[in-house]
Amino acid sequence: MSVLWQRRIDLTWQARNLWVSLFLVGATLAASSTAYLSYQVVRGLILENIKEIALLKIRHGGEEVDRWLASQKRDAEILANTPTLRTMDWEAIAPYFNSELQRRRDFTSLYLGYADGSFYSTASKARKESLGNSLHFSEAMAGKISVSASLLDPLRNSLPQDDRKLPGRKAAPAQTLQLESGATCASYIESLCVSPVPKIAILAPIRLGKGSNSEVIGVAGGEINIEPMLEAIASLEYGAGSYGFILNSVGQPILRPEEGSLETGLESSRKNQNDRESFLDPREKLWQGIASQMIAGKSNIELVKLNGRWIYLAYAPLKQVDWSVGLAIPRENLEKELKAPTFVAWVVGGLLGAATLAVLQLLVVSERARVFADRQALLNRLTGRIRASLELEQILQTTVEEMGTMLDLERVAFGWYDSQKQTLAIQWQYPELDSDRLKIRLDKDGLQGDYLTVPVATEKEVLGYLLLATTERKFWRPAQKELLQAVADSLAIAITQSQLYTQTKEEVKRLAIALDQAALVAIADARGIVTYVNDKFCEICQYSQEELLGQDYRKLPTLEPSQHLLQDMFWSENRNQIWKSEVKQRAKDGIYYWVDTTVFPFPYSKGMSPQHLIVSFDITHRKWAEDQLRYQALHDALTGLPNRTLLMERLRNAIGETKLHPDYKFALLFLDLDRFKVINDSLGHLMGDRLLEAFARRLEKSLRDTDIVSRFGGDEFLLLLENIQSPEDATSMADRIQKELTSPFNISGYEVFATASIGIALGSNRYQQPEDVIRDADTAMYSVKSNGKADYAVFDQAMHDRAVQLLKLEQDLRRAVDRQEFQLYYQPIVCLKTGKIAGFEALVRWQNGESLVSPVDFIPLAEETRLIIPLGKWILATACQQLALWQQEFPQESCTLTVAVNVSVVQLRNDFIFILDRILQTIGTISPGLKIEITESAMMQDVKITQALLEQLHQRQVPVSIDDFGTGYSSLAYLSQLAIDTLKIDRSFVKEMNLEPEQLQIVKAIVTLARSIGMELVAEGVETKDQLERLQELGCQYGQGYFFSRPLTAEGATALLSEGLPLF
């Protein structure tokens, strides 16, 4: 039993040992498998993290390119919106472009494109025709800012086919920027480029107008060095043999680092050219598939086999253009640390990898929490300093030191930036500047290798830069960059706040000095007791400080006893309000002055009652000027009488009185000096002004206290009589004025007699506006003028109807001139010896609708409105045409037949000779058949001008007749001097010569005068046989009148000539 039991026990232990062994083996295998799987997972995660870092790197590179492209597009848009470019005038734009090229270092050339596709360039003055079919140009003309790489292709295509390389950038000798006062970055950047670099083209639309209504009239842009883009691409390396590139919108690599094609000027980026190999072959189908994904705007990292080599290809789209940026990394660069270990290494490595990954995760979380805490602490301290202190220097220095300590940086500095000089002046550094070791490059684009520049800027300008540097390449985390930007923004606020404080403090200081010198300043307590007055206050009021201090401000001797406007400014309910008013005060010597006073309540100290700051400005001169302006605005400057504005106001009030009180009466007298122009022209305008002043004084003597006289304008005066009892009051005033004018005016030694025509309008409640009353008085005055002047007339409805009729006649006359509603009639001029026709006088008739308007009615109106100029031109041309026809039809009479045309003085003064020459040139030779008739009064208005006109007519063999001779005031001496051929005896003398001996003697005298000076004579208005016989007895050559014939139409006159019979 014991043996069996023992064997059983042995078998049991053997089985147990076997199961334990199997369990241990299984557990070991399970643990190893788990470890292996964990290793693979960890290995995959690590690889993914490495790939994510590579993808982040390519995205960051894309952001750098995007920022640079956005800046260039923004510059191009600003350039295109310059007002100079909207002129599209290359002569004006070329100098502006040249100056911009000096300022814009990135642009190598600028050009201006027109809508037809042609353009001018600063590189070549010749106008080229090469943009019209360009997609680049079409996008810009469509309103977009277009970026093109097309300018790169000619550079590439110009090289031999077997060795086509993109022109690149060779490394320059090491150049560094020492952070010293006045250092510049422009010179450093330029020194890095020792050979030409490729360029891109940017075009922006030139818009005319704003908003949706704007119109694209052309494009503007230029070629830009892509050095910053090359540097960004060159920095995209991940170990030996890696490189960055850019793919355009059609899948072509426009920047790829073939051997010797791309180099960066940064020392940290210089690599051996032999380490770089090109994997890009656009002809490979696999590359075409990847390129299509890049063109589609996708972002990824893939393991692909290109050109016989496995590479990781990371790519991301650019936002500013339809391009993509890529990074090619040899596979071994990422996987050289991940080679397959032994089984034990797998287990151990997997366990250690998992533990390491967990520890790394904990460290990342801890680091992020620490960075966030440090960031918040720094921002809180900086914000607290800004709020608590305005000491900018202390804030900047402490911030720089804390940033260097917190971020573990080798150097931190802050420098002021001068945008005009483009210089950076370093002022604060941490630690102290070591010029031999601190070597960084200033660049507005931010991250570049082992340094970082952060702009401290407002919305309008860059104030300075934070400069941060490390001795080794440092990957700046987004959280750190956000912290730095937040610090920079806070510093910008501190700088702006400090500048504003300094500016305000200086302005307050200057204001205090100016206020004390220019204003009257006093301080009173809550009861109104004066506690302070400045020297200006005492100077103006002429009281000393001892006389004013301790006095109640409301009872100062400068205030009038009756003036209570300051009494309530110290009451309790008003003591916290600003009080302002203009106050009239009296100085110690009794002279009054005005001050503009403002009372400001302010607390003297905590817990005490409010004080009152009283600031006053002397406005005495201003008040005087206002009074003068008010007087000048309502009075005439020459006579001192109320002007039109004041009279209209009084007249409006009088009309209002008639509405309220129907029995109220007033009258308006409109006075106009007769022949005032003669006085002005003969004695001069100064004497005319003196006459107006003297006339105004006489009018004032005739007034009652309630009346007002106003100079309405020129030599016109208005006299308003208010509250009269009857119309006789107005006519009595007119008589009194006329009586005053009977005495001569003594003007500077001259005795001048003046009369006035007076129109009277009687006020009533039928008037609505002052202009209506003035219109009626003016109408009555012109009625007096037309009836002999020097009298007065009261307006009635008949005058108004006549004025309306004249207005309508004027309107009809204007239309008649445009429509040529006139017709010429011809009245024969007969030889009194033979009875045959010697000529005609052309007489105009107006057929106004169905009625025939007399020339007596419309000729004076035509002269007044100057319509006589076009009308007279038509009369002259029509008469000359008719004379030419008669000369052709009756050649036997062509030498003796004449046509006389009347010409007014208005025509003579308005290019009459020029008009006559044009008509004669158009019609042909009609001399000497044309005669010009001028009235005696018109001829004598200006003898010198008339004499010159007559001489010109004489040179053209055009005879001149004096019409209505004997009715004017011509001097007999002028008759022999003026080129006159004929005298026409006025019809008034002919009509009465057989009835009144005096008229007969006048006719005899005119005939004798004409015969003695060799002039022809024509008698007008011959209507009877007795008149004809008397004129024949006196020896008058020609006659004209109804006895011979009435005025005839052109057809009737032609028929009369055809008969050839004597007319008596």
pLDDT tens string 36-86: 665 566 666 667 777 777 777 787 778 888 888 888 888 888 888 888 888
What band does 275 get if pLDDT is binned at 50, 70 and 90?
A: very low
**pTM value > 0.95:** no
- 935 pLDDT exceeds 70? yes
Q: Which architecture does CATH list for 53-335?
A: 2-Layer Sandwich (3.30)
CATH architecture of 635-795: 2-Layer Sandwich (3.30)
CA distance 476 to 488: 16
Alpha helices in 820-901 (DSSP H): 855-864, 868-889
Q: Confidence class of residue 198 from pLDDT cuts 50, 70 and 90?
A: low
**pLDDT category of residue 448 using cuts at 50, 70 and 90:** very low
**What angle, rounded to 10 degrees, do the helices at 727-740 and 685-701 form?**
130
What digits encode the pLDDT tens for the residues 645-693?
Answer: 999 999 999 999 999 998 899 999 999 999 888 888 888 889 999 999 9
Residue partners of 186: CB distance under 8 A and separation at least 6: 105, 422
Cβ–Cβ under 8 Å, residues 930 and 898: yes
Domain covering 367-505 in this structure, CATH number? 3.30.450.40
pLDDT of residue 144: 86
Q: How far apart are alpha carbons 581 and 1046 in whole angstroms?
A: 85
- Nearest CA to 530 among 556, 557, 558, 549? 549
- Residue 96 in this model has a pLDDT that exceeds 80: yes
Three-class DSSP category at 211: helix
Q: What is the dihedral of CA 226, 227, 232, 236, to 10 degrees?
A: 100
Give the CATH number of domain 519-625.
3.30.450.20
* pLDDT, mean over the chain: 77
pLDDT-derived band at 371 (thresholds 50, 70, 90) equals: low
Measured CA angle at 488 (ends 486, 493), to 5 deg: 95
H/E element, 898: strand 898-902
Interval 917-944 mean pLDDT: 82
CATH topology of domain 809-1059: TIM Barrel (3.20.20)
Q: Is the pLDDT of residue 881 over 90?
A: yes
pLDDT at site 639:
92
pLDDT tens across 421-446, in order?
A: 777 777 666 665 443 333 333 333 33
Contact in structure between 531 and 547 (CB atoms under 8 Å): no
CA nearest to 878, candidates 934, 928, 840, 851: 840
Cβ proximity of 860 and 806 under 8 Å: no
Q: What band does 933 get if pLDDT is binned at 50, 70 and 90? A: very high
Residue from 686, 688, 652 nearest 668 by CA: 652
Residues 6+ apart with CB under 8 A from 386: 395, 490, 493, 494, 497
Give CA separation, 625 vs 435, 581, 595, 618, 633, in Å: 69, 18, 14, 13, 12
- Domain positions in the chain: 53-335, 367-505, 519-625, 635-795, 809-1059
Distance between CA atoms of 64 and 230, rounded to whole angstroms?
Answer: 11
> Which H or E run includes 157?
helix 152-157
CA distance readout (Å), 908 to 99, 261, 912, 946: 61, 90, 5, 8
The residue type at 96: Y
Q: 872 burial class (0-12, 13-18, 19+ CB within 10 angstroms)?
A: buried
Position 491 pLDDT exceeds 70: yes
Closest to 1002 (Cα-Cα) out of 982, 988, 1015: 988
* pLDDT value of position 164: 31
Edge to edge, the sheet with strand 411-418 lists 183-184, 423-430, 411-418, 462-469, 451-457, 447-448
pLDDT tens digits, residue range 789-846? 889 999 988 787 777 777 788 888 888 888 888 999 999 999 999 999 999 999 999 9
Instruction: Please tell me if the domain spanning 53-335 has the same topology as the one spanning 809-1059.
Output: no
What single letter denotes the amino acid at residue 543?
A: Y
Evaluate whether 345 touches 32 at the Cβ level (below 8 Å).
Answer: no
